[in-house]
Amino acid sequence: MDDARVAVETGVDGVDVVIGTSQFLRKFSHGKDMNYIAQSAIEVIEFVKSKGIEIRFSSEDSFRSDIVDLLNIYRTVDKIGVNRVGIADTVGCANPRQVYELVKTLKSVVSCDIECHFHNDTGCAIANAYTALEAGAKLIDVSVLGIGERNGITPLGALMARMITADRDYVLSKYKLHKLRDLENLVADAVQINIPFNNPITGFCAFTHKAGIHAKAILANPSTYEILNPHDFGLTRYIHFANRLTGWNAIKSRVDQLNLQLTDDQVKEVTNKIKKLGDVRQLSIDDVDSIIRDFHAAQSTTNTPLLKPVNNGNDEDVEEPEAKKQKV
């Protein structure tokens, strides 16, 4: 109660009451039984509500707590008017099936909103968060890049990626997705970490295509190998053509960007030269451009040189990703 009074005196808009309900936390953390927890929760909630402040009650370690204990305490706080109740997978042990069952059950016994908090110790935080929404939860706790205790909690960006595949129009209307990269870069710089190369949406590899068969399909129709549209997030895709796995369709696209003209057979021939050099050493974009230009110049000595009159307008699809221009 003392903490609740101090919180109210600071002028906050809401107070979150959290207490462990599993046997582990009741025995080795605070040492209180469920009767004590219920009485304390009632006292604090009624006090906070009397001050006109929003109040949330959340159990800790919910998925290792007895289901009867959980439902009893949630039903109790719901009856006295708590604004929302929270479920916390404190150690990251829950799976989506368990999450759906608990949220669905809880929704049948309380009238207030349900909020969920998932840790990622076993890699299920994103799936659990999305499943909780499907089961009727209204709020999900997230953090930028999923930063939190141990393996962290549900990452904001990854949950956006999961949600936009379900209802693109709704997500685009509600969230400023183009600010995600700047936000993640800001946090990454502040805590002195690199954004993982395979991070959903903003990772260096998220919209990078390398293998020849992938590049061909992406150039024809990006949906073949992309479920997310990089433009929705203010980003562009990158066809990585400077490598030994490149295909002639990717090289043909680069030839067009360089405003040169080669036949398909000539593009295939220069592609073989690029792949052979790629077997010897790592290639840069300058390496590939030099090979293409030299090959084109050689063809021009025996043929009338041809230049494309205009760019084909696909520069944005092969622009080198921001993460590569900077330090990865």
User: Which domains, from first to last, does the chain contain?
Assistant: 2-154 (3.20.20.70), 208-325 (no CATH)
Which range, 13-22, 117-126, 302-311, has the best average confidence (pLDDT)? Answer: 117-126
User: Are residues 84 and 110 in contact, defined by beta-carbon separation less than 8 angstroms?
Assistant: no
Q: Measured between alpha carbons, how far is 137 from 29 in angstroms, rounded to an integer?
A: 28
**For the segment 178-187, what is each residue's pLDDT rounded down to a tens digit?**
999 999 999 9
141 has pLDDT over 70 = yes
Strand 238-239 to 139-140 pairing: unpaired
Q: What percent of the chain has pLDDT over 90?
A: 65
Nearest to 45 by CA among 21, 35, 53: 53
Question: Which pLDDT value is given to residue 328?
Answer: 38
Question: Which pLDDT value is given to residue 313?
Answer: 46
**For the segment 199-215, what is each residue's pLDDT rounded down to a tens digit?**
999 998 888 887 667 77
In DSSP terms, 143 is beta-bridged to 155
308 has pLDDT over 80 = no
Range 23-36 average pLDDT: 92
302 has pLDDT over 70 = no
User: Are residues 177 and 232 in contact, defined by beta-carbon separation less than 8 angstroms?
Assistant: yes
Give the type of residue at 44: V
pTM of the model: 0.80
Which positions are annotated as active-site residues?
A: 214
Q: What percent of the chain has pLDDT over 70?
A: 91
Q: Measured between alpha carbons, how far is 292 from 253 in angstroms, rounded to an integer?
A: 12
Question: Which pLDDT value is given to residue 306?
Answer: 52
Q: Measured between alpha carbons, how far is 108 from 3 in angstroms, rounded to an integer?
A: 31
Question: Which pLDDT value is given to residue 44?
Answer: 94
Question: Which pLDDT value is given to residue 113?
Answer: 97
User: Are residues 90 and 62 in contact, defined by beta-carbon separation less than 8 angstroms?
Assistant: yes
Q: Measured between alpha carbons, how far is 269 from 305 in angstroms, rounded to an integer?
A: 17
Nearest to 28 by CA among 86, 91, 109: 91
